[in-house]
Structure 1
């Protein structure tokens, strides 16, 4: 049964753009939030772009072995596994080296996916459909770019309101991306058509021609100038893309703009915006009122009470923690507002132990 290209072209090219942007654009932001040095970020993440530059050298392998459909499904699944591995590696002590290796692996897988994807497009669609969907595939590739560099980064900033651990935040973001890839893999498994002409190239003579073509390619006159152009023609853009996000995130004291992935209202209030200040003051008033209700209903006046505040919301540039603390201590002389003495996981383990012992 012939399926409309509308069923699979959008998802094929959305998944083509998603790992590319995460690997090349979002990874510097991720590492910056995890306190990796700028020099390390720019040097190592710049290498992540290389597989897309040199993918022509192993594209014949995609033609010779298996079908384009099978290559797409396999690389879909491998990207899911690689991003899941990257996500959990962020919680390890040597996360930078491990996650970088996994991202490099992801880059080669994604570049291979692109080879198979473009070939599948040509084999599955007739010339009229190819002409029609050339704009559609570009649209969904760009939507993936907006989703990865926009929504995912915003999502990470939103999580900072509730989670103080940046490695946990970015683990959640990468797992979310992995689940999207897993969902698309299942969709492609069910939907991708099996084109009659999508077959591995079993012609040994033609396969030998591939090797001959590559050999002749490297025997061209001034081949090193040609290779230098291929490798360096987008060098300026690549350098700018890697450093731009670091420039936006770095503090003004070191030459950056001091922006944050956290929500904009907090930053606007810190800079004196009247409306943002009103919103933040209302939020503090609500927190003080809610906390006061708990204090008056449960706790006995005169007994020292400490309110522990945890989460990135209390690291507000505007000073939410200070204002909440002033509101509570000004209202009750037996109340103190403190930051956690231990990580939340330690407190949870301690609570579990005490509960187990008491039972």
Structure 2
């Protein structure tokens, strides 16, 4: 036990957040590219991968009940194993005649396990580290969560493209999802040794007591002054980006004859997973400094513009269909930089405006659920909209989708002083 307490957080914090990111990006991004390679239509891809995202919408509702489990380490490992095994089963399902329905169901299980793991992992992090340590290792959290995106899109998608040259797409993607599952299981086994055995310090409450507290948290959240305006703002903030995230990668792979760029999986992995991820991280860091410099109230309109205006690059790409990969990579890097830069505004709005009050942590969790709903709905409809409009008109529609949140921003009551901020 003494050795366990003395074990450095560096031995488990990076892998904990790598394990948080891998299943999320497998569901949110990699699955769509896989289905595109297998000939599934854009509207089906967008609808069903969007539907799976409801797991992250509702996770705040079962978060309080996980506090009743004393061992946070056990929870983390259990849901890593469930997620890893489910990803392995996705790989096996690729060879079945009705693979689409089966794989979607399994990805839904991956999403539920991943959403629950998010809660357990964050709880373990908070329970095991002092405030000073939490601040010191916060950078490692973000770095390795984004490393999961880099591995998934920049590594495994490139691998899928390479494998497709010598085998059927279904077999290539089965290998990719098998590797994802194996990685998650390997991390779970490593965590059985490395994770601290943090126990819940809170009194063990009955399920009825937890339920009553949860009801009080929800009532208090919805009784905040101006909360419905804040909810509308959160829902609309990602209306454009949610559609771009879904259709953008499919557009890159679409045949040139159908209005796409006709890129291979290897090329998509390079420009979107590698260059794009690096640009996103850079934008996120600079966006944080920009918001700190101006204050949230003054920075927010500029952050919204920064997040949405670069979506123009997709219209440019759809209008010109360049075959130079450097041009495509530069355009996508600009879009991802803007996304990272602007997304900071939504995070700060939820932290400094919506979450302030008696149940700050719980209310922030509820706000993130609303935020995820604001991503899921655009994802689900984006395929049908793109199919009806075509790529060029769709990307114009995406820009129009960002106008309501910019207008709504003017009606928000935001004070720059964090302690006195109200909705």
Q: TM-score, normalised by structure 1?
A: 0.68
Q: CA deviation at 1:141?
A: 0.9
| Contact residue 247 and residue 257 of structure 1 kept, 8 A | yes
CA distance in 2, matches of 1:262, 1:113: 30
Render the CA deviation track for 1:138-165: whole Å, top value 9, x for unaligned.
11111111000110000101112221x1
| Structure that is richer in helix per residue | 2
Q: 1:134 aligns with which of 128, 134, 138?
A: 138
1:203 aligned residue: 205
Q: SS where residue 251 of structure 2 aligns?
A: helix
CA distance in 2, matches of 1:51, 1:272: 39
Cα distance change on mapping 1:127 and 1:49 into 2, 3 Å:
same
2:159 aligned residue: 155
| Contact residue 160 and residue 169 of structure 1 kept, 8 A | yes
Render the CA deviation track for 1:266-287: whole Å, top value 9, x for unaligned.
xxxxx899xxxxxxxxxxxxxx
Cα distance change on mapping 1:229 and 1:64 into 2, 3 Å:
farther
2:186 aligned residue: 183
Q: TM-score, normalised by structure 2?
A: 0.58
CA distance in 2, matches of 1:235, 1:192: 38
Matches within 5 A, 1:145-294: 145-163=149-167, 165-195=168-198, 197-198=199-200, 201-204=203-206, 207=210, 208-217=212-221, 228-262=232-266
Q: CA deviation at 1:42?
A: 1.4
5+ residue gaps, structure 1: 265-270, 274-359
- Mean Cα displacement is larger for which, 100-109 or 177-186? 100-109
| Contact residue 26 and residue 149 of structure 1 kept, 8 A | yes
Matches within 5 A, 1:90-101: 90-101=94-105
Cα distance change on mapping 1:272 and 1:69 into 2, 3 Å:
closer
CA RMSD of aligned residues (A): 2.5
| Contact residue 250 and residue 258 of structure 1 kept, 8 A | yes
Matches within 5 A, 1:1-359: 1=2, 2=5, 3-163=7-167, 165-195=168-198, 197-198=199-200, 201-204=203-206, 207=210, 208-217=212-221, 228-262=232-266
Structure showing greater Rg: 1
**Number of equivalent positions:** 265
Larger RCO (CA within 8 A; separation ≥ 6):
2
CA distance in 1, matches of 2:162, 2:68: 46
CA distance in 2, matches of 1:16, 1:181: 9
| Contact residue 24 and residue 45 of structure 1 kept, 8 A | yes
